[in-house]
Amino acid sequence: MARSNRTERGIQRVDLAYAQLASSEIARDINCDLVLELIRARQPISRSDLARLSGLQRSTVSLIIEDLLEEGWIREGAVVRRPRGRRPTLLNLNDDLAMIVCDLRPAQAVVAVVDLNGRFLSRESLHVLSDPAKAVAQIVERMKRLQQKHVLKTFEGIGVSLPGRVDPDTHALIFAPNLKWTRFEIKKAIERGMGLKVEVDNAANACLLSELWFGHMDGVRNAVLVTVSEGIGAGVLANGQLVSGTSGMAGEFGHIPLDPAGPKCACGATGCWETFASSSAALRYYAELGHAGHRLTIHDLIKLAEEGDVHAGEAIEKQAHMIGRGMRAILAAVSPEVILVAGDITSAWSRVVPIIMEELASLVLAGPVPTLRPVEESEVARLRGAAALVLQRHTGRQHLKKAKPRG
């Protein structure tokens, strides 16, 4: 395959406001990404079906397909048998292309190999050391081992999702209160170790991107994805664009204070939303109900609640109330159509959803109450998100900033 020829390309969503700004060069890229997205969603698919579904001319589709075949993004597969006339060759994504992805968390990291179709080929977890340089060296070791297990794959890049904020210009990790890492050049460190291009972003942003690539977000232009685990993170889609803000710090709803007299937060302030609504908060509520000696994880607590432990149920319900209450800031700032929830709390979804919905309904100032739903396959959402980070390298925003002819 002509790897050196291949333009890095994302399976991207086309935004109309952006499409109107696009030059013809960029428009060609948009059409290319549109065709690639259709192949991903409808594969195996023929050129004529692609023309019909995309609304593009058959000749345009054929040229794009030539490019995508040459670049190695797709390949030709089965020929449709028909009694007479043309026998179209069907097209698929090239699943020889793979990515290495990492879901980095305070205690544990999961490293995996995922193909272009989002299928996991290998997955391993490891303990995360508190020293960032040593932790990343171990993660790189693990990535190398996984890469060696899949020598027949061509690796497109590496994606890392983490509980923190990465400056989009310097790519340095600048804010990671729960990871307790100070400013660290994580992207450079992994690139040096692996010799592959690395994309790093906040776990909530990554999960939101993953929902856009692999999920069911058609037509949604305003959405917020909230991760509820050790802390609370959020990714924001506003008017069809992902919002990063200055230094990539947009979406830190978890650090808006709900009660200045509340518990101390990892960010240094007191009473932030996440001190009341994270998994750690639920465990604290359970301890306060007379279970201080128990060393539980959030999954233990959810299991206890399922088994009928009244205090465990109360702790999780209190957390759910506080999740809903903190969403007021999200409603006021973004007015989303959809609020997606990822993380530990999705394991207790049926218990928490009526409580969060009730809070939401009481908080909406005007207009409809947003739809609330958990992300699909929450346990791998951050890994899929990390894959989406690699796939989205060429988003519209990047095109506008540094559009260059493809060649």
Report, in Å, the least distance between residue 233 CB and Zn ion: 11
Smaller CB separation from Zn ion, 26 or 269: 269
Q: Report in angstroms how near the CB of residue 15 gets to Zn ion at its nearest.
A: 32
Nearer of residues 18 and 175 to Zn ion, judged by Cβ: 175
Closer Cβ to Zn ion, 30 or 269, answer by number: 269
Residue 374 CB, shortest distance to Zn ion, in Å, is: 24
Q: How many CB atoms lie within 10 A of CB 64?
A: 23
* Min dist. Cβ of residue 271 to Zn ion (A): 8
**Residue 240 Cβ vs Zn ion, minimum distance, rounded to whole Å:** 29
Q: Cα(first)–Cα(last) distance of the chain, in Å?
A: 16
The nearer residue to Zn ion, 121 or 267, going by C-beta atoms, is 267
CB distance 324 to 370 below 8 Å: no
Of 266 and 381, nearer to Zn ion (C-beta) is 266
Dmax (CA) for the chain in angstroms is 77
With CA atoms as reference, report the closest residue to 164 among 143, 186, 135: 186
Report the helix count and the strand count for the chain, using DSSP H and E. 14, 14
> What's the rounded Cα separation, in Å, for the pair 277 and 279?
7
Number of neighbours of residue 355 by Cβ within 10 angstroms = 18
In the complex, what is the shortest distance from the CB of residue 380 to Zn ion, in angstroms, rounded to a whole number? 27
Which is closer to Zn ion, CB of 38 or CB of 232?
232
DSSP 219: T
Write the burial class of residue 35 (CB in 10 Å: 0-12 exposed, 13-18 middle, 19+ buried).
buried
Q: Quick one: tokens of 218?
A: 């058609």
DSSP string covering 10-71:
---PPPHHHHHH--HHHHHHHHHHHHHHHHHHH-SB-HHHHHHHH---HHHHHHHHHHHHHH
Question: Reduced to 3 states, what is the DSSP secondary structure of residue 376?
Answer: coil
Q: For 26, left (φ over 0), alpha (ψ -120 to 50), or beta?
A: alpha
Instruction: Please give the residue ranges that form the binding site for Zn ion (CB under 5 A).
Output: 255, 265, 267, 269, 272
Q: Please identify, using beta-carbon distances, which residue of 129 and 256 lies nearer to Zn ion.
A: 256
Shortest Cβ 273–Zn ion spacing (Å): 8
Residue 172 or 267: the one with the smaller Cβ distance to Zn ion is 267
Between 106 and 240, CB nearer to Zn ion: 106
User: Which residue, chain included where needed, has tokens 């919002």?
Assistant: 243
Minimum gap (Å) between residue 283 Cβ and Zn ion: 17
341 three-state secondary structure: strand
Phi/psi for 196 (5° steps) reads -125, 155
Minimum CB–partner distance for residue 328 and Zn ion (Å):
17
Q: For residue 368, what is the DSSP state? A: P
Identify whether the C-beta of residue 186 lies closer than 8 Å to the C-beta of residue 131: no
